Structure 1
Amino acid sequence: MSTSALPVLCDEFNSSASLQTPTQTPSVCNTASNSSSSASSSSSSMQLPSMNQFTFNSNSSSRSTFAAADHKVTRLSCHSYLNDSNDSSDSNDTLALDLSAEHKHEQDQEDHDTQDDDTHTTTPHTQRTTVSYHDDDEQTPRKVADGDQDASAAEDEEDEDDDDNDNDEQEQEQEEEEEEEEDGDTSVNSNASHKSASTSHARSTSTAERETTQCVDMDHLILGRFGYEKVKDITRTLQGSIFIAKAAVNTGRERQVVIKKTSKSLHAQHVTVQNGKKFGIYENILKECIILKYLTEHRNGLIMTSFTKYDNFFDDARFYFLSMEHGGSDLFDYIIEAHELLNAKKLKIKEWRKFTKYLFWQMIVVLRWLHNDMNTCHLDLSLENILIKNGNFIPLDDAKTQYTINSNVQIKLCDFGLAEIFNKEAGPGPASPHKSADNAFHCTKYCGKTNYKAPEVYSKNGVFDARKADVWSLGVVLFCMLVGSPPYNKPVDSDQAYLYVKNGIIDQLLFQWERNHFITVKVLSLLHNMLCFDSDKRFLVDDVIQHSWLSLYYHKYKHQMSKKSQLQQQSKHKRNKARLPYYKLPQNAVLSNISQ
């Protein structure tokens, strides 16, 4: 599509300057988040936390254990849904934006007072323990007899000693012979035992190798039957693995896809096995398959397809295989690389803020579509579950002293293994007698990564609004992108950094970390409202997308988004949605919510 240049809003020119020190300007957090003065006063006595750059574990498990057992989709319902669905592959997959023109005007409206100070990262001191060793074996002194002896007596004693020595030598020789025989027997037994152990280890190794080879051969057969060829592994999952494969290898139109392989045995039990122990998990590959295909069929409602689309689903006797679009590389690694360039002063902070805004715009657009049009919540938003395409850094000179970012950069939301569809249109019923539009997204699925969990999700105390939980997680993602560090490790009061977030004084936390130059006043206001401890006051996606920090993008695309949303709503009413796996609030949670 053709796009016009973004307008330059002069009234935003000075308001997007970097945060100043508290002595120069009043605290921004009081106007941004309406935090009370008591919160500010209580924070003054808090211990200032140290900052560690990206303490998140990108390979850590994000699947929490579950208490309810009603989140199940049978294999029959999954296959019948997939077979009954109409493929909309001819729909408009992407709607490219004229990013080069937009970024030029974005640069004009960004602030010019950027501080390029070095980043000072406080790392915990590691103590080394020196272990000294000593020898406990002591030499025993030999006892020497005193007194003079006669020569004759000495000679007699010497003769007796010679006889005794001869006898001792004979006895010693016999003992040595016996010991040699015993040692020989022992060595034979030891060698036999060692050979037996080696043989047993070799047998077990060969058995494991044969099983691995058989598994690889079976995977090759099932993949080849559906036109795929495995390229390389990506990572292990709680119930299987994820790998990259080539699709349509026999048609000459090869393309790369990502395939999620899941054990049927573990899926049937709703468990994962770690260190020999079983743990219950929420993840459901069949539900994920249905949700992903449902979203893919209705992607015309997006101005750009910012999620990994469904490709195929098949299985054999032991595994399920879900094939998806290859969305690119991890955003997590991309952020780390960007901040390494920022720390080396090879990437300008103003340039990074500009592209961060555009990437976040794509995220909030797809999240708004999920919440408002598809009634779906992701419930596991994180840097690890967002992919990036064309996210390469381009050198501006031959010496590579300065870099910029590819203007065609695009994000893709992935991993819908914990996502849920909420039946907002259904009225009150026996299971939800007080259901309304306000509580249609009530949920008790306490899942996601600890570093991104909203406080009400981490506390596991009653029902929560799934949309508000997604907004909180996306706020953590925005913070990490801008600052290069997570805002906290756990959303608990014992986490000193979290207390600053909870009390709405994120700016003071950034001053302590000497990272206030990464944040502008407007984006600080947005962060305070997305990371608001009171979920009732926390922003929804419509509030986020209409925030002044995103005003240029919103005013440009709001009519296009509205039009696509209306067309999608009309097409959705024509579809039979009886087979969608709607989330059902557990009955005990419903009763608890009513009593409150």
Structure 2
Amino acid sequence: MMNEYTIDQVLIHGLYGDLLLCTANASNVQYIIKQMNMRMAEHETTDATSENGIEKELQAYALIQCATKSKNAKKGASAVVGLVDSFTEDGYVHLVLEYCVQGDLFEMLQNSPRELFYWDDAQRYFDQIAHGVAFLHNECGLAHRDISLENILIDDVGDCKICDFGLASIDCKRESRPVGKRYYMAPEMYGDDGYDPMAADVWALGVLLYMMHTGLPLVEKAATSDRIFVYIQTHGLRAMVKAWRVQRLVPMQALDLLEKMLVIDPTQRITMADVVHHPYVASPLVA
């Protein structure tokens, strides 16, 4: 209950609730507490950033905690922000979450030299994130649907943690509602036939990898209204990287992986099981 915590700072004051940095009175350990107004959450129907996010997040963490017991889960599970406790009080649901003191990967990228990561740092981060997403897909049976630099947190030892499961696809059926951040949304999310949320995660993760190496979004929008997207559609990713003069920023192994992740046809896109076995993830980096 909230009387067990001291509020150190209100990080976000939102329409549906607050994000609090708190200290546990008994242990003196800091946590993030996400509060959600239950009545407001029940009426979340038009906000594209959440689909009854608190319920989705609770369902997602139930699957994550169950899957963490699997012998295959150790590396992937460690790349997910831990849920310490949850409770309901005074009309609010509270999620007590692991506190990642170094902020998010977007902030870290912005504060890096030339606003991009050194190759070995990008590879290390991506290895952790990829195993985390593979854990969500293969062990938990859920898709994140909002993979982005902003939703990757960094803990006190510099390791990556995936956060924010308010848009998760719990049973991974075909989805119809396009969600997430525009830079990361897969092209099929703009169509009328629905989309595979796991394949959409692979696209988003590919965009994240591209951004870590170049400091740039891949496209403004993965649609024919975007000239870079049309160039990729017509000439391929490798040609675009050369034409936009960023090839020196992307190591060969990373570019090979990107070509397999950022495939416009989602049925031809590799899966997360393939991603974690690709040489860029599984082997030392080769320029």
**What TM-score, normalized to structure 2?**
0.88
* Aligned partner of 2:185 among 444, 447, 453: 453
Cα offset, 1:463, TM superposition = 2.4
5+ residue gaps, structure 2, are: none
Q: Does 1:540 align with 2:271?
A: yes
Matching residue of 2:74? 302
The residue correspondences of 1:331-350 to structure 2 (distance < 5 A) are 331-340=105-114
* Aligned partner of 2:129 among 314, 338, 363: 363
Alpha-carbon spacing, 1:501–1:246, altered in 2? closer, same or farther (3 Å): farther
Is the Cα contact below 8 Å between 1:487 and 1:501 reproduced in 2?
A: no
- SS of the equivalent of 1:322 reads strand
Is the Cα contact below 8 Å between 1:504 and 1:528 reproduced in 2?
A: no
Alpha-carbon spacing, 1:302–1:500, altered in 2? closer, same or farther (3 Å): farther
Is the Cα contact below 8 Å between 1:307 and 1:327 reproduced in 2?
A: no
Is the Cα contact below 8 Å between 2:67 and 2:139 reproduced in 1?
A: no
Cα offset, 1:341, TM superposition = 6.7
Partner Cα distance (2:39, 2:50) in 1: 14
Partner Cα distance (1:504, 1:311) in 2: 48
Higher relative contact order (CA 8 A, sep 6+): 1
Alpha-carbon spacing, 1:473–1:504, altered in 2? closer, same or farther (3 Å): farther
Q: Does 1:462 align with 2:193?
A: yes
1:438-482 residue CA offsets vs partner (Å, 9 max, x unmatched): xx643324211111100111x141122111000000001001101
Partner Cα distance (1:502, 1:327) in 2: 38
Partner Cα distance (1:271, 1:443) in 2: 15
* Aligned partner of 1:497 among 194, 204, 228: 228
Cα offset, 1:323, TM superposition = 1.2
Moved more, 543-552 or 487-496: 543-552
The residue correspondences of 1:462-541 to structure 2 (distance < 5 A) are 462-503=193-234, 505-541=236-272
Matching residue of 1:269? 43
Is the Cα contact below 8 Å between 2:50 and 2:166 reproduced in 1?
A: no
Partner Cα distance (2:112, 2:48) in 1: 37
Partner Cα distance (1:516, 1:441) in 2: 37
Is the Cα contact below 8 Å between 1:270 and 1:280 reproduced in 2?
A: no
Partner Cα distance (2:87, 2:240) in 1: 49
Partner Cα distance (2:138, 2:265) in 1: 22
Q: Which residue identity lines up with residue 529 of structure 1 in the other structure?
A: K
Cα offset, 1:279, TM superposition = 8.0
Matching residue of 1:387? 153
Partner Cα distance (1:385, 1:240) in 2: 18
Alpha-carbon spacing, 1:265–1:377, altered in 2? closer, same or farther (3 Å): same
- SS of the equivalent of 2:147 reads coil
Partner Cα distance (2:222, 2:194) in 1: 17
Cα offset, 1:292, TM superposition = 1.3
Partner Cα distance (1:522, 1:462) in 2: 33
Is the Cα contact below 8 Å between 1:454 and 1:473 reproduced in 2?
A: yes
The residue correspondences of 1:224-373 to structure 2 (distance < 5 A) are 224=3, 227-237=4-14, 239-247=16-24, 249=25, 251=26, 253-271=27-45, 281-300=50-69, 301-303=73-75, 305-328=78-101, 329-340=103-114, 352-373=118-139
- SS of the equivalent of 1:360 reads helix
Matching residue of 1:416? 165
Is the Cα contact below 8 Å between 2:56 and 2:170 reproduced in 1?
A: no
Partner Cα distance (1:284, 1:268) in 2: 10
1:407-436 residue CA offsets vs partner (Å, 9 max, x unmatched): x531000001111222xxxxxxxxxxxxxx
1:149-174 residue CA offsets vs partner (Å, 9 max, x unmatched): xxxxxxxxxxxxxxxxxxxxxxxxxx
Alpha-carbon spacing, 1:504–1:379, altered in 2? closer, same or farther (3 Å): farther
1:464-516 residue CA offsets vs partner (Å, 9 max, x unmatched): 21110000000010011010010111111121122233335333433344322
Alpha-carbon spacing, 1:529–1:238, altered in 2? closer, same or farther (3 Å): farther
Among all aligned residue pairs of Structure 1 and Structure 2, give the percentage whose two residues are the same amino acid.
26
Matching residue of 1:192? none
Matching residue of 1:38? none
- SS of the equivalent of 1:462 reads coil
- SS of the equivalent of 2:266 reads coil
Larger radius of gyration: 1
Alpha-carbon spacing, 1:484–1:339, altered in 2? closer, same or farther (3 Å): farther
Alpha-carbon spacing, 1:442–1:288, altered in 2? closer, same or farther (3 Å): same
Partner Cα distance (1:281, 1:340) in 2: 33
1:357-394 residue CA offsets vs partner (Å, 9 max, x unmatched): 1110111111111111111111111111111124xxxx
Is the Cα contact below 8 Å between 1:312 and 1:324 reproduced in 2?
A: yes
Partner Cα distance (1:518, 1:442) in 2: 35
- SS of the equivalent of 1:527 reads helix
Q: Which residue identity lines up with residue 521 of structure 1 in the other structure?
A: M
